[in-house]
Amino acid sequence: SLIYLSFPDIDAALHALAESWDNPPQSWVGSDPCGSNWVGITCSNSHIIIITLPGLGLGGTLSSEIQNLPELVALDLSYNKDLNGPIPPSIGNLVKLKYLVLVGCSFSGNIPPELGNLVRLSFLSLNSNNLRGSIPGSLGNLSKLTWLDITDNELSGPIPVSSENNLGLDMLTNCKHFHFGKNNLSGAIPPKLFHSDMHLLHVLFDSNSLSGSIPPTIGLVQSLTAIRLDRNHLNGFVPSNLNNVTSLIELHLSNNQLTGPLPNLTGMNALTYLDLSNNSFDESEVLPWFSTLSSLTTIMLEYSKVGGQIPTSLFEFTQIQTVRLRNNRFNGTLDLGTNYSNQLYLVDLQNNEIQKLNYVVYPNKLILDGNPYCNQGGSSNSKYCTVPPQSNSTTYVTPILNCGNIVCPSDQDLSPRCNCSYPYVGTIYFRFITFSNTDNTKYYQVLEEGLSKLFEDNQIPVDSVSVHNPHINIDNYLQIDFWFFPAGKLRFDAYDVAKISNLFSNVTFEAPSDFGPYYFIARPYTEAELGSKSQKVPVIVGATVGAVVLSLTVIILIIFALRQKRKATKAVELSQPFGSWDLSKSSGSAPDLKGPKWLSFEELKKCTDNFAEQNEIGAGGYGKVYQGTLANGQQVAVKRAQQGSMQGGVEFRSEIETLSRVHHRNLVSLVGFCFDQGEQMLVYEYVPNGSLKESLSGKSGIRLDWKRRLWVALGAARALTYLHELANPRIVHRDIKSNNILLDHHLNAKVSDFGLSKPIGDDNKGYITTQVKGTMGYLDPEYYMTQQLTEKSDVYSFGVLLLEMVTARRPIERGRHIVREVRAAIDKSKELCGLHELVDPIIGLGIAPAGFGRFIDLAIKCVEESSAGRPLMSEVVKEIENIMLLAGMNPHGGSTSTSESFVTRTRGHPYSSNSSFDYSGGPFSPKIEPK
Ligand SMILES: *[C@@H]1O[C@H](CO)[C@@H](O)[C@H](O)[C@H]1NC(C)=O
C-alpha cells in the first residue's frame, strides 16, 4: 500500500513505523495523518501525541525511528501477536510518554534500561510477551509510575533495589501495582523493596522462582490489599507482623516451603480469600483467628498439619463459600451448626481425623473421605464419603434469546440479541477474585452488564456481549472468554477494534467489585473480518518452508471444509424433527427457539441407562422423571411423557418456546427436548435437592429453618415477578405449588413445570379467558368462577404456598383448606399469631421467629378472595426482603452475598474513582494534552 506523507517533522517517523510493519493500517493513506482518518493517530497542534493500534494484526518489528515522535504521550500496540523483535531502546527518548502499553505481542530481548528515562511515565504494561533478562533497576527512576505490569514473560534474576550506585524498584513510592507473576524471577525478595512510604495495593509475585524468606518489611506497607507470593520456593518463617496489614483482602502464600508456626492472622478482618496450602508449617492446633475472620469467602489450608476441632463459627461467616482443609489432623466431631452460610459451596476435609458428623443433612459439597468417620460401619455409605469429580470450570455461556429460525452463515456467530456477525473475541485473566463459587452465574451476569455499559459509555457500536466458559486456570487466575458483537453491521472496522482493545489494554474497563485486576488478550480480528480488500501474499522463504506452508494450507482447507459440512448437517438435523409436526399454525416448522438442544431418543435412552428404575426421581400423571448425564457431562432431569398424557404437537412446542424464552436464576432452565420415535421429552437442568414439598414433609431430609424458608420464598417470588412483569410476553405460571419449587445445591428456589403456563397478550385486557386448570388447594377461587386468568391467580397460589411453608401442611388436609384454617385461628395479639397448633415446630417452638407476623400478613393478603385486593409479585418480593432484614438476613446477597463491595473496602482500589489515572473521558482520550 502507498503512504503519502507531507509533514516533514513526523513523516519520516511514521514512514519508518509503517515500513517496519508487514501490514500497516489500511487507512494510513493521504497526506495528513492529523487531518484525515488515520486509524490510531491523535494529534495536537500538528504533533502526534497518541498512537493506539491494539488488536489490528500488525506484524513485523517496532522501528527505533519512533523516537522521532517527541510529543508522544501514549503508545499502545497491544494484542499484535506478530509484532516481534526487541523493544527499541530509543523509546527512552520519548520523554513525554505517560502510557506505554505493549501487552500480548511477541516482543523479545531485554526490557531496555532506557525506559528509566521516561520520567513522566505513569502506566507501563509489558505483560504477555517473550521478554528475557532481568528487570532493569533504572525503572526505579520512574517516580510517577502507578502501574508496573511485566506479568507472563521469561524475566529472570533478582528484583532490583537501590544501592549507593544503583536505582531500584523500592524507589517507586507512587506505584500501586507490582504485577510480576508468571516469570522466572529468582533470589530472595529484598527487604529493602518494601517500606512505609510506599503506596502499593497489589504485590503479585506468583509463579516465579523466588526463594529465601518473606521480608518482614512487607508488614510496613499498610496500603496493601492483595499479596500473591504463591507458587515460588519461599522458605523460612512468615513474618509475625503480617497482621499489621489490616486492609489485606487477598493473601496467597500456597505452594512454597514456608516453615515455622502457622502465621498469626488475628485482626486481619478484611481478609476475604486466604490460601496457605502446601507449605511446611509446624504442627499446630486450631488457631484463634479461625473463628474471627468473618469476611472470609475462602479458606484454603491443605497439607498444613493443623489439628483440633474445626470451630462451627467458621461455617457461619455470612460470606463463606469454600473451606478446603484437606490432609490435616482435624479431629473430633464436625459440627456445621444449623446456621451455616447459605453460600457455602465446598467443604473439603479429606484425610483428616474426624470421628463424627453432628449434622445429618448438609446440602452442599462436603467431603469426608479418608476420615475415621467414613470407616465406621454405618457411615461408610454416607454420601460425604465419596469424592465428587473435580471441576474447575462452569459451563456458563451468556444465554441467547429466543431467536426464531436464524441460521448464521458458517463463519459468523449468533449474538445474544439474534444478529449474525463477526464477533471480536478475547480472553480476560483475573489475577485474583474475592469469591470461589465459580458456579454462581450472578458474577458473570454482572460482568456482562458492566461490559455493555462500558461500550455504551464509550460509544462503541456493540450489539451485545457474550461471556464464555469461565474457569480457574492453572495459575489460579479466573479465565473467561468474551465475545463482543458489532451493532448494526457485520464486522467491526479498524477504528472499533483499536478502541475496544484499548479499553482493556490500558484497563479503562473497571471490573465489577468482586473481581481483582486483570489482563486481557485479544484474539486477532482477522483481515477477512476487518473487511480488507487486499490480501497479503505470504513470502515463502525456500522450498522446504514453502512446502510446509502449502501442506498446512491444504490441511486447514480440509478441516474448514469438514467443519462446514458438519455445520450444514447439523442445521438439517435440527430442522428435521419438526418437519413431521402436525401444526395447525401455518408458520414455520421448527419451534421458535434458540438455546435448548434437540436431543435424539437414543441419546436420552443412553443418558438415563435405558430409563432405568434407579434413575427415576419423580412420577406423576404426566409420566416419569429420570436423572441422567449427557455426553458433555451435564447432569439433567429428563421428563418423559407417558402414552396417553402427551400433549398435542402445538402444546408441546408452546411449552418449549415458553421455556426457552425465560431465563432467570430462580427458574429451572430447559437444556433440551426430544420429539422422536413417538416420544415427548423435556430435558431440564438437574436440581439436586428435590422439591420444596419433599423438604417440608421431611421426605428429602433437608431441614429448612426459618431463614432458609425466607430465602426459598424470596427466590420463588422473584421468579414469578420475572414471569409476570419482565418476561416478554408476560407469563402466568398457573401451577404454583410446593411440588413445583425445586431446591438447588444452595437451597435456592427454582420454579419448574411450565406445562400449564400461559402467555398474556398485550391487548390491554389484562386477563385471558381459558379453561380452568391448576391444582386443587392452590386454585384461585375467582379464576375458578370467572375462567378469567390473570397474574393474580399465581399470587393466590403463592399465598397458599407461604401458608404451606409456615405449617408444613398440605393445602387440603382431611378435607380442610389451609387458608380457612389459618384465617379461623389467627389472633395477632398472641404469640405466633395464635397459630401454635398449625405452625411447623421446626420454625417456631412456641416463639415466633423474627418477621413471622409480617409473613403471615403477607400470606393472608395474597389469598384475598378478590384478585384486586392481592399484591403484585414485585410487592411481595419487597415485603419478603423487608422480613429478611428483620430476620437479620441480606436479601440482596444472594447465595453469594457480598454486603460490602470490594471497592468500598479497599479504599484505594485501582479502578475506583480516586484512582491515579489522570485522564478521563475514555481511553487515551484526546483531552490529554502534553504539558
Ligand atoms: C496474635 O496476634 C494478636 C494481635 O496482634 C495477639 O494479641 C496475639 O497474642 C497473637 N497470638 C499469638 C499466639 O502470638
User: Cell digits for 222?
Assistant: 499498610
State residue 734's pLDDT score.
85
264 CA: nearest ligand 1 atom: 1
* 241 Cα to the center of ligand 1, angstroms: 10
Q: Greater confidence, 592 or 63?
A: 63
* 346 Cα to the center of ligand 1, angstroms: 29
Average pLDDT over residues 908-919: 28
* 242 Cα to the center of ligand 1, angstroms: 11
* 244 Cα to the center of ligand 1, angstroms: 11
Q: How far apart are CA 650 and CA 581, in angstroms?
A: 8
pLDDT category at 650 given cuts 50, 70, 90 is low
Task: Report which protein residue has its CA nearest ligand 1's atom 14.
Answer: 264
Q: 3-state class of 463 per DSSP?
A: strand
Average pLDDT over residues 2-30: 72
Average pLDDT over residues 241-257: 95
Task: Report which protein residue has its CA nearest ligand 1's atom 7.
Answer: 266
Q: Specify whether 700 is located in the same domain as 815.
A: yes
* 266 Cα to the center of ligand 1, angstroms: 6
pLDDT category at 10 given cuts 50, 70, 90 is low
- For 839, list phi and psi in degrees, rounded to 5: -70, 140
pTM of the model as a whole: 0.60
Least confident of 174-188, 329-343, 594-608: 594-608
Structure letter (DSSP) for residue 274: E
Residue 165 in contact with residue 189, Cβ under 8 Å? no
State residue 831's pLDDT score.
82
Q: Is residue 307 part of a domain?
A: no
Least confident of 47-51, 265-269, 308-312, 559-563: 559-563
* 201 Cα to the center of ligand 1, angstroms: 25
Q: Is the CB of 266 under 6 A from ligand 1?
A: yes
Average pLDDT over residues 820-824: 89
Q: How far apart are CA 899 and CA 895, in angstroms?
A: 12
pLDDT category at 528 given cuts 50, 70, 90 is very low
Residues ≥6 apart with Cβ < 8 Å to 912: 510, 903, 906
- For CA atoms 705, 707, 710, 716, the dihedral sign is negative
- The H or E element containing residue 228 is strand 226-228
The C-alpha angle with vertex 549 and arms to 543 and 551, in degrees rounded to 5, equals 100
Q: Is the CB of 307 under 6 A from ligand 1?
A: no
Whole-number average pLDDT of the chain: 82
Residue 76: count other Cβ atoms within 10 Å of its Cβ: 26
Q: Specify whether 3 is located in the same domain as 93.
A: yes
Bridge partner residues of 353 (DSSP): 331
Task: Report which protein residue has its CA nearest ligand 1's atom 2.
Answer: 266
Percent over 70 (pLDDT), the chain: 82
Q: Is residue 278 part of a domain?
A: no
Q: Specify whether 529 is located in the same domain as 549.
A: no
Task: Report which protein residue has its CA nearest ligand 1's atom 12.
Answer: 264
Q: Specify whether 659 is located in the same domain as 780.
A: no
User: Cell digits for 617?
Assistant: 426421581
Q: How far apart are CA 97 and CA 71, in angstroms?
A: 8
Cβ-in-10-Å burial (0-12, 13-18, 19+) of 232 comes to: buried
Q: Read off the pLDDT of residues 759-803 as tens digits, 9 standing for 90 and up.
A: 776 555 666 666 667 778 898 888 877 878 889 999 999 999 999
Last residue of a domain, one of 647, 668, 685: 685
Residue 536: count other Cβ atoms within 10 Å of its Cβ: 11
* 292 Cα to the center of ligand 1, angstroms: 13
Q: Specify whether 11 is located in the same domain as 109.
A: yes
Residues ≥6 apart with Cβ < 8 Å to 851: 710, 882, 883, 884, 886, 887
* 289 Cα to the center of ligand 1, angstroms: 9
Q: Which of 735, 744, 780, 794 is catalytic?
A: 735
pLDDT category at 565 given cuts 50, 70, 90 is very low
Give me the CATH number covering residue 623.
3.30.200.20
Q: Specify whether 908 is located in the same domain as 764.
A: yes
Q: Is residue 58 part of a domain?
A: yes
Residues ≥6 apart with Cβ < 8 Å to 560: none
Residues ≥6 apart with Cβ < 8 Å to 445: none
Indicate if the pLDDT at residue 72 is higher than 90: yes
Q: Specify whether 654 is located in the same domain as 796.
A: no
The C-alpha angle with vertex 748 and arms to 655 and 723, in degrees rounded to 5, equals 35
287 CA: nearest ligand 1 atom: 13
Q: How far apart are CA 189 and CA 378, in angstroms?
A: 52
Residue 452 in contact with residue 438, Cβ under 8 Å? no
Residues ≥6 apart with Cβ < 8 Å to 166: 137, 160
Last residue of a domain, one of 484, 508, 535: 535
Q: Greater confidence, 563 or 654?
A: 654
State residue 766's pLDDT score.
65
* 162 Cα to the center of ligand 1, angstroms: 34
Q: How far is CA 929 from CA 44, 48, 98, 220, in A?
A: 7, 11, 11, 37
User: Cell digits for 925?
Assistant: 482520550
Average pLDDT over residues 896-923: 28
Q: Read off the pLDDT of residues 824-853 as tens digits, 9 standing for 90 and up.
A: 888 888 888 888 888 888 887 678 888 999
User: Cell digits for 855?
Assistant: 409473613
Q: Specify whether 466 is located in the same domain as 615.
A: no
Q: How far is CA 317 from CA 23, 297, 418, in A?
A: 56, 8, 42
Least confident of 58-62, 219-223, 645-649: 645-649
Within 13 Å and on the Cβ side, how many CA atoms surround 577? 22
Structure letter (DSSP) for residue 75: E
Structure letter (DSSP) for residue 867: G
Q: For residue 567, what are the domain limits?
A: 545-576
Q: Is the CB of 243 under 6 A from ligand 1?
A: yes
Task: Report which protein residue has its CA nearest ligand 1's atom 8.
Answer: 266
Pairing type for strands 306-308 and 329-334 reads parallel
Average pLDDT over residues 443-471: 91
Average pLDDT over residues 805-819: 87
Q: Greater confidence, 235 or 813?
A: 235
Q: Read off the pLDDT of residues 26-70 as tens digits, 9 standing for 90 and up.
A: 888 877 788 768 899 998 888 899 999 999 989 999 999 999 999
Q: Specify whether 751 is located in the same domain as 832.
A: yes
End-to-end CA distance of the chain: 35
Q: Specify whether 563 is located in the same domain as 669.
A: no
Q: Greater confidence, 336 or 910?
A: 336
Strands (E), 446-506: 462-472, 478-486
- For 372, list phi and psi in degrees, rounded to 5: -55, -35
Q: Is the CB of 421 under 6 A from ligand 1?
A: no
Q: Is residue 379 part of a domain?
A: no
- Pocket probe for ligand 1: among 240, 264, 293, the residue whose CB has the most ligand atoms within 8 Å is 264
Active-site annotation holds for 413: no
Average pLDDT over residues 494-500: 91
Q: Read off the pLDDT of residues 140-149 as tens digits, 9 standing for 90 and up.
A: 999 999 999 9
The C-alpha angle with vertex 81 and arms to 79 and 83, in degrees rounded to 5, equals 105
Q: Specify whether 619 is located in the same domain as 515.
A: no
Q: 3-state class of 769 per DSSP?
A: strand
Average pLDDT over residues 520-546: 51
**Which ranges in 702-841 belong to alpha helices (H)?**
706-721, 781-786, 791-807, 818-825
Least confident of 276-285, 355-364, 423-432: 355-364
State residue 284's pLDDT score.
93
Indicate if the pLDDT at residue 197 is higher than 90: yes
Q: Is residue 376 part of a domain?
A: no
Residue 806 in contact with residue 839, Cβ under 8 Å? yes
State residue 556's pLDDT score.
47
Last residue of a domain, one of 645, 660, 685: 685
For the chain, how many structural domains are there in total? 5
766, amino acid identity: G
Residue 325 in contact with residue 302, Cβ under 8 Å? yes
In the numeric block, the cell 398440605 is attached to 810
Indicate if the pLDDT at residue 630 is higher than 70: yes
Q: Is the CB of 244 under 6 A from ligand 1?
A: no
Task: Report which protein residue has its CA nearest ligand 1's atom 3.
Answer: 266
Structure letter (DSSP) for residue 21: B
Q: Specify whether 809 is located in the same domain as 829.
A: yes
Q: How far apart are CA 326 and CA 303, in angstroms?
A: 6
* 147 Cα to the center of ligand 1, angstroms: 34
Q: Read off the pLDDT of residues 374-390 as tens digits, 9 standing for 90 and up.
A: 887 665 567 788 887 66
- For CA atoms 708, 710, 713, 717, the dihedral sign is negative
Q: Is residue 454 part of a domain?
A: yes
Indicate if the pLDDT at residue 127 is higher than 80: yes
Bridge partner residues of 241 (DSSP): none
State residue 378's pLDDT score.
62
Q: Greater confidence, 771 or 104?
A: 104
625, amino acid identity: V
Q: Is the CB of 267 under 6 A from ligand 1?
A: yes
State residue 549's pLDDT score.
41
Q: Is residue 180 part of a domain?
A: no
289 CA: nearest ligand 1 atom: 1
Q: Is the CB of 391 under 6 A from ligand 1?
A: no
User: Cell digits for 246?
Assistant: 489490616
State residue 361's pLDDT score.
64
Nearest to 549 by CA among 539, 559, 563, 535: 539
User: Cell digits for 929?
Assistant: 494534552
- Pocket probe for ligand 1: among 237, 243, 266, the residue whose CB has the most ligand atoms within 8 Å is 266
| Four-point Cα dihedral 848, 851, 857, 863, nearest 10 | -100
Q: Read off the pLDDT of residues 665-709 as tens digits, 9 standing for 90 and up.
A: 899 888 888 877 778 888 888 888 888 998 888 887 788 889 899
Pairing type for strands 41-44 and 758-760 reads unpaired
489: annotated binding-site residue?
no
* 287 Cα to the center of ligand 1, angstroms: 10
- For CA atoms 260, 265, 271, 273, the dihedral sign is positive
Q: Is residue 380 part of a domain?
A: no
243 CA: nearest ligand 1 atom: 5
Q: How far apart are CA 409 and CA 571, in angstroms?
A: 11
Least confident of 349-363, 390-404, 539-553, 721-735: 539-553
Q: Read off the pLDDT of residues 856-883 as tens digits, 9 standing for 90 and up.
A: 999 999 999 899 999 999 999 999 999 9
pLDDT category at 928 given cuts 50, 70, 90 is very low
267 CA: nearest ligand 1 atom: 4
Bridge partner residues of 43 (DSSP): 48
State residue 393's pLDDT score.
54
Least confident of 26-40, 162-176, 204-218: 26-40
Q: How far apart are CA 152 and CA 169, in angstroms?
A: 19
Nearest to 929 by CA among 53, 51, 97, 73: 73
Structure letter (DSSP) for residue 433: B
Burial 292-307 (b: 16+ CB within 10 A, else e): bbebbbbbbbbbbebb
State residue 632's pLDDT score.
81
884, amino acid identity: M
